[in-house]
Chain A
Amino acid sequence: MIDSLYRWVDDRLNISGGSRKLLNKIFPDHWSFMLGEIALYSFVILVVTGIFLTLYFVPSQQQVIYNGVYAPLRGQHVSEAYASTINLTFQVRCGLLMRQMHHWAANIFVGSIVVHMCRIFFTGGFRRPREFNWIIGVNLLILAIFNGFLGYSLPDDLVSGTGIRIAFSILESVPLVGSYLATFLFGGNYPGTSIIPRFFIIHVLILPAIIAVLIGAHLGLLVKQKHTQFRGNGATEKNVVGAPMWPTFIAKTQGFLFLVAGVTAILGAVVQINPIWQYGPYVPYKVSYAVQPDWYMGWLDGALRLMPSWEIVFPGHMIPNAFFPGVLLPGITFTVLMLWPMIEAKVRGDTAEHHLLEEPRNNPWRTSIGAAVLSFYFVLFGASATDVLANYLEVSLNTVLVTFRYLVVIVPLVVGPVTYKICLELQHQHRPTKTKRHNIVIRSEEGGYSTIEVAPRPGDERPHLEPIPVDAMVLVDDDGQPIAAGRVAAGVGSGGNGNGSGRGIFRIPRQYR
């Protein structure tokens, strides 16, 4: 039945040629190439759980009197957004699980994008011809961070509402147009009643649509330009060695989707996240201590805390303090990130195409710069928890802040050169192979131990196999006869035009099974 269905579609759409190309796509198998898939599948989970949530969430700041099951809120004035989220938590079956899985998936989404970006950066995967994909990727990171901020601000609770107030101030701080940006986005002065509904539509429609399109472009470019790969196992600049799409990669990647979903479900089941019922509704004149944004905004919060109290004032105008850590820092960060492929090509004078990846140790200057910059943002991220750290370590808040101000300068300056040195050291190390070797351990009369390497016996080693080029092969049976009547040998690109052999999809001729 599958056969006749396939034929029906194929006769009308001519998919055999394209499908064959797709089936023969080769994916290098290294585990570090799956990091982008973590992000992709987290996005899928976000969309699925998000759709569930949109069916219950009410994006309105209209005040209502809460009358549900959670006693400490009963009779209190809260916004409909908050009330509907509490409702989702306590009264909608599976609602809390969906909320938690959605939030954990968001954390994993941004985290895996960062890890994936680091992998690309440190192995040089952004080099020609993949600059476009890098730029798309950095934009995806920005959008993911932003969408995450919008998402956790939707419930209009005390903790996230404080973040919205800070966002207003940061918008306001932009020179020339800041006050316009702020009042336009908020529909007036702070707080207004438009911000939650606007955040909602941006969060569920506008940004996910852009993210989906960008992901499509990202994957499309990956298919067109083919994946990069590490050396070894017959890989060269002119081929791709690995697992074919059909059947291996499809099975592995599908399974991986479920594994990522499983990890998210475990977290959603076992670890509580964003307990908004404990935070209460947002009220502009109320605030809590120990309030931090979600981790991917932590570096911004840390920067806001560490920034000295400078402000530029001249007659009639001002560049406020919050502008520097809130707008300038992320602006410079993402601009440099996006332009990095071009910067590196210029500095190294390397405009050649690269399809083989570098090992981080073999490009010490890039690795050490990357490590230093990463450590800078890591310190900023740590600085967002100055008060929590001061409390936990039982030291003065003042001490913690001053320490972080020093660390943010010293740590990158130390990490950079140290990483450089480590790379140089590693370059000269002998790398053990995957081949199993036997050693005989001998104990001498004096008591010392020594080893003798034994020559491998048959069966000890995994046979080293040559890669089979699926796009340029003729399959033959035991007698050397081609299995399919010459069509397979036609090589790449030729679409099938109905060979009429009447073979079924899974039928290999009986004598060859």
Chain B
Amino acid sequence: MGLRFLRKVLIPFAALVIAASIGTLVMGRAHASSAATTSSPSQAAALTGLEVMTGKGATAASTSELQYGYTLFQTHCSYCHGVAANGDTGIGPNLQGLGAGVVDLWLSTGWMPLKTPSAQPENKEPSFDPAQIRAIAMWVASLHPGGVPIAPKLDLKKSSLATGFSLFTLNCAPCHTITGAGDALYDGYHAPPLHGLTASVVWEAVRSGPQNMPPFSARTITPAQLDDIIKYVTGKIQHPTNPGGIGLGGVGPVAEGFVGLLVGVGGCLVAAYWVGDRTERDEDDHGDHDAHQQGPESAPEGAHA
């Protein structure tokens, strides 16, 4: 009896549960690895009349670095953005005045280069190594002043996780979700998940406001506050505290409901199937009772009126 139970019920159910768990885990992971946005960098990050931000410890570019950046840009970027990075080809936007930080952001996240102008920017492996990215960024920045600089080296030791959590909740959670899982915005845009992003990418994104993300200047989020937020993002968002077990991708009650129904109620159903009996059928019973009228077994109608 036990062997039959094992074969017929437990193994298929275990397979189902494993598939469901893998499904939810993959769903959770998938959030961390996809971010589809539709159009190219917003020019709204260009600043006029506001203070130019200087990052702490940003070093100036050397001539050889600018030369290197120029060469790289002409080879890989000028087709869409023009040889002077001003978008005169009509394919890509004007990059002048956006600042080195914006270039660094879009190259480090792999959003750029796009395969075709209408392709969706996605989080992926950068096409250039950090030195190349910095060179390109420095060269573009040298064309026109202003914009967002490359993120400074951040010392987060004195930053406050608690303040970061509070600011993150107010400013970032409405689009990126409270667990940083990312979500779909209106009209096909997405707020990407925050997993796997470096501190400097977060810094540059907050200051430059890529695409639909609003830019947050130092007057609205001070440098200390930004450090706090980055500490929280690179800390508890990217490495959440999950003492309760499997985190289900941080998606909340949607995933919990699936697990509760499939594994919880499902598990109890499996147990019930073992505890109870199956329907016994008599030899000559072909199951076509009750297809029409009730048989004589039912009590006479009206007898209890």
Contact = CB atoms under 8 A, between A and B. Distances in A.
B169 A353 contact: no
A274 B254 CA distance: 11
Nearest to B34: A394
A252 B279 CA distance: 18
A260 interface: yes
B50 interface: no
Contact of A292 (B235, B252, B290): B252
Contact of B240 (A76, A263, A278, A352): A278
- Of A266, A291, A429, the most chain B CB neighbours within 10 A belong to A291
Interface string B151-188: 00000000011101110011001111111011111111
Nearest to A76: B162
A73 B164 CA distance: 10
Interface string B181-212: 11111111011000000000000000000000
Contact-size category for B: 35 or more
B268 interface: yes
A397 B265 contact: no
Contacts of B170: 283, 285-286
B27 interface: yes
Contact of A288 (B27, B173, B243): B173
A293 interface: yes
Nearest to A397: B184
Contact of B241 (A255, A277, A296): A277
Nearest to A72: B165
Interface stretch (B51-59, B101-109, B126-134, B296-304): B296-304
B128 to A, nearest CB: 26
A284 to B, nearest CB: 12
A402 interface: no
Nearest to B36: A394
A276 B27 CA distance: 21
A396 B189 CA distance: 7
B76 interface: no
Contact of A275 (B247, B267, B278, B280): B247
A434 B281 CA distance: 7
Given A30-B277, A288-B178, A75 B162 contact: yes
A362 B283 CA distance: 19
Interface string B263-305: 1110111011111111111110111111100100111111010
Given A96-B244, A278-B240, A388-B254, A33 B304 contact: no
A340 interface: no
Nearest to A362: B290
B19 interface: no
A359 B286 contact: no
A260 B236 CA distance: 34
Interface residues of A, number: 102
Given A75-B162, A388-B183, A353 B259 contact: no
Given A232-B281, A352-B298, A278 B250 contact: yes
A272 B248 contact: yes
B101 to A, nearest CB: 26
- Of B165, B185, B283, the most chain A CB neighbours within 10 A belong to B165
Contacts of A295: 253-254, 256-258, 260-261
B256 to A, nearest CB: 5
A272 B289 contact: no
A260 B178 contact: no
5 contacts: A38-B268, A107-B260, A260-B268, A362-B291, A397-B188
Given A111-B261, A263-B271, A397-B187, 19 more contacts: A31-B272, A34-B272, A100-B245, A107-B261, A230-B279, A237-B299, A256-B271, A266-B267, A269-B245, A271-B256, A272-B243, A285-B170, A288-B177, A291-B252, A353-B299, A361-B287, A396-B187, A398-B187, A434-B281
Interface of B: 27, 30-31, 34, 36, 160-162, 164-166, 169-170, 173-179, 181-188, 190-191, 232, 235-236, 240-248, 250-254, 256-261, 263-265, 267-269, 271-283, 285-291, 294, 297-302, 304
Sorted nearest first, the 3 A-B pairs with minimum C-beta distance are A295-B257, A31-B276, A272-B244
